[in-house]
Amino acid sequence: MMLDNLFDRLDELTIEYIKNEPMSRRTTFKIGGNADVLVKIKSNEQLKQVLSLAKSFDIPYFVLGKGSNLLVSDNGIEGIVISLDGLDDIKINGNSILCGAGTSLRALCIAAQKASLSGLEFAYGIPGTVGGALYMNAGAYGGEMSQVVVSATAIDKDGNEVILSLPDMQLGYRISVFKNSGLIITGATFELKEGDANEIKAAMDDFFARRRDKQPLEYPSAGSTFKRPEGYFAGALIEQNNLKGVSVGGAEVSEKHAGFVINKGGATCRDVLSLIAKVQQVVKSADGVDLEPEVIFVGRK
Ligand SMILES: Cc1cc2nc3c(=O)[nH]c(=O)nc-3n(C[C@H](O)[C@H](O)[C@H](O)COP(=O)(O)OP(=O)(O)OC[C@H]3O[C@@H](n4cnc5c(N)ncnc54)[C@H](O)[C@@H]3O)c2cc1C
C-alpha cells in the first residue's frame, strides 16, 4: 500500500488524519485493533478528494459512523477509515430537518424537540449517526428511520453526487441500498410533524428510561447482537437456553438483557466471535433457529 504517498497528499490538501488509530477508541464495544489511518472529513469536497486518492493509490477504505454497530477485528482495519463526524450541520425549515450524515441521532432528536417537531422520539438513545442509522434503517419502539426520512444525498465510488428518494433507499428490516451499493451517505432530509415540545421531550425521556432499565448500558456493547428472527425474539431464545452470563474471555451474554453481548473488560474481537458462534450453535440445536448477527464484523481476518 502506498500509505506514505497518501499522507503527503493529505498534508497538501490539509485534510486531517491520524495514523494507526486504535478502533477500540472509535467503537462502542471498545474493541478493535488499529486502522492504518483515520481521516476526518469536514466537507463533501474532502470526501471526494479522499475517494480519488484511495482509487489512485489503490488503498481500501471503510466508512465509520459512531462505531455503535461494529465489531472490529483485533488485527485492525487495512487502509483508510473515513470518519464523517465533521458533516454535522443541522438546518430546520418548517417541518423539514436537513442534516449532515455525521450528525449524531442524539443531536438530531434534540434539535427536532426544540423545534416542536415530532417523529424522531424513538431514535433518542440510539447511539449512532444519521449515516449509520440510514445504512441500518435503525429503529426502536415501533419507529424506524424509513418513517421519517424523505431523501438522502450520497457520493458514489467515483465521486459523483447522488440524491436518493425514500424508495431509492430500499429501507427494510436492518437493510438498505447502502449495504451493497458502496454509496457514502453525506446528508439526509427528515419530514416531521408539528407537536408539543414538552410532550416530545416526555416521550424521549420515557424511551431513554426504558433503555436504561432493560439494556446493559453500563458496559460497552454494540447493541442487539442478533437480528430478530422471523416469529421469535433473539433475546428470549437466548435466555430460554440458559445462556445469560455465559462468557468467552471478556465477552459475556448480558445478565440484564440476553440480546446483548457485552465487553465485561478486555474482551477481544475473537472472544466476541467465539461467544456469538456458541450462542448460535446452542439456539440452532435446541430450537432450530438461525440467529443472524446484526452487529457488523469489519477488518483484517
Ligand atoms: C447501547 C446500544 C443501543 C442500541 N440500540 C439500537 C436500537 O434501539 N435500534 C437500532 O436499530 N440500533 C441500535 N443500536 C445499534 C446502532 O446504534 C445502530 O445500528 C446505529 O444506526 C449505527 O450507527 P453508527 O453511526 O454508529 O454506524 P457504525 O456502527 O459506525 O456503522 C454501521 C454501518 O453503517 C455504515 N455507515 C456509517 N455511516 C455511513 C455513511 N455515512 N454512509 C454509508 N455507510 C455508512 C458503516 O460503514 C457500517 O457498515 C444500538 C447500539 C448500542 C451500542
Q: What percent of the chain has pLDDT over 90?
A: 99
Cell numbers standing for residue 159: 465521486
> Cβ(171)–Cβ(145) under 8 Å?
yes
Q: Band of the pLDDT at 1, cuts 50, 70, 90?
A: low
pLDDT at 214 over 90: yes
pLDDT at 294 over 80: yes
pLDDT at 123 over 90: yes
Give residues with Cβ within 8 angstroms of 56, minimum separation 6. Answer: none
**Does ligand 1 have an atom closer than 6 angstroms to the CB of 293?**
no
Torsion on CA atoms 295, 268, 41, 102, rounded to nearest 10: 40
Report how far ligand 1's centroid is from the alpha carbon of 106 (Å).
13
Distance of CA 6 to the CA centre of its chain: 27
pLDDT in tens, 23-44: 999 999 999 999 999 999 999 9
Q: What percent of the chain has pLDDT over 70?
A: 100
**Does ligand 1 have an atom closer than 6 angstroms to the CB of 259?**
no
Give catalytic residue positions. 174, 224, 294
**Cross-strand bridge partners of residue 77:** 35
- Residue that has been written with the C-alpha cell 447502502 in this structure: 178
pLDDT at position 101: 98
For a substitution probing ligand 1, which of 62, 64, 69 has the most ligand atoms within 8 Å of its CB? 69
Q: Closest ligand 1 atom, CA of 217?
A: 1
> Cβ(257)–Cβ(214) under 8 Å?
yes
Report how far ligand 1's centroid is from the alpha carbon of 286 (Å).
30
- Tell the residue nearest (CA) to atom 27 of ligand 1: 132
pLDDT at 163 over 90: yes
Q: Band of the pLDDT at 2, cuts 50, 70, 90?
A: confident
pLDDT in tens, 99-112: 999 999 999 999 99
* Mean pLDDT computed over 205-215: 98
**Does ligand 1 have an atom closer than 6 angstroms to the CB of 79?**
no
pLDDT at position 15: 98
Report how far ligand 1's centroid is from the alpha carbon of 288 (Å).
28
58-64, long-range: CB < 8 A, 24+ apart: 58/1, 58/2, 59/1, 59/2, 59/3, 59/6, 62/35, 62/298, 63/131, 63/184, 64/26, 64/38
250: nearest Cα among 270, 235, 222:
270
Cell numbers standing for residue 113: 424537540
Any alpha helices (H) in 65-156, and if so which ranges? 105-114, 130-136
User: What does the mean pLDDT of the chain come to?
Assistant: 97
Report how far ligand 1's centroid is from the alpha carbon of 158 (Å).
24
Report how far ligand 1's centroid is from the alpha carbon of 284 (Å).
27
d(C-alpha 148, C-alpha 157), whole Å = 27
- Residue that has been written with the C-alpha cell 481500501 in this structure: 60
**Strands (DSSP E) along 113-218, which ranges?**
117-118, 139-140, 143-144, 149-155, 161-165, 184-191, 193-194
pLDDT in tens, 41-70: 999 999 999 999 999 999 999 999 999 999
pLDDT at position 74: 98
Q: Closest ligand 1 atom, CA of 220?
A: 53
**Does ligand 1 have an atom closer than 6 angstroms to the CB of 59?**
no
pLDDT at 7 over 80: yes
Q: Closest ligand 1 atom, CA of 101?
A: 41
**Phi, psi angle pair for 275, to nearest 5°:** -65, -40
Q: Closest ligand 1 atom, CA of 130?
A: 25
Residue 43 DSSP class:
S
Cell numbers standing for residue 207: 424511551
- Residue 94 burial class via C-beta count within 10 angstroms: exposed 0-12, middle 13-18, buried 19 and up: exposed
Q: Which domains does the chain have, with CATH numbers?
A: 3-83 (3.30.43.10), 90-212 (3.30.465.10), 217-295 (3.90.78.10)
Sheet order of strands, 34-40 included: 16-22, 34-40, 77-83, 61-64
* Mean pLDDT computed over 239-249: 98
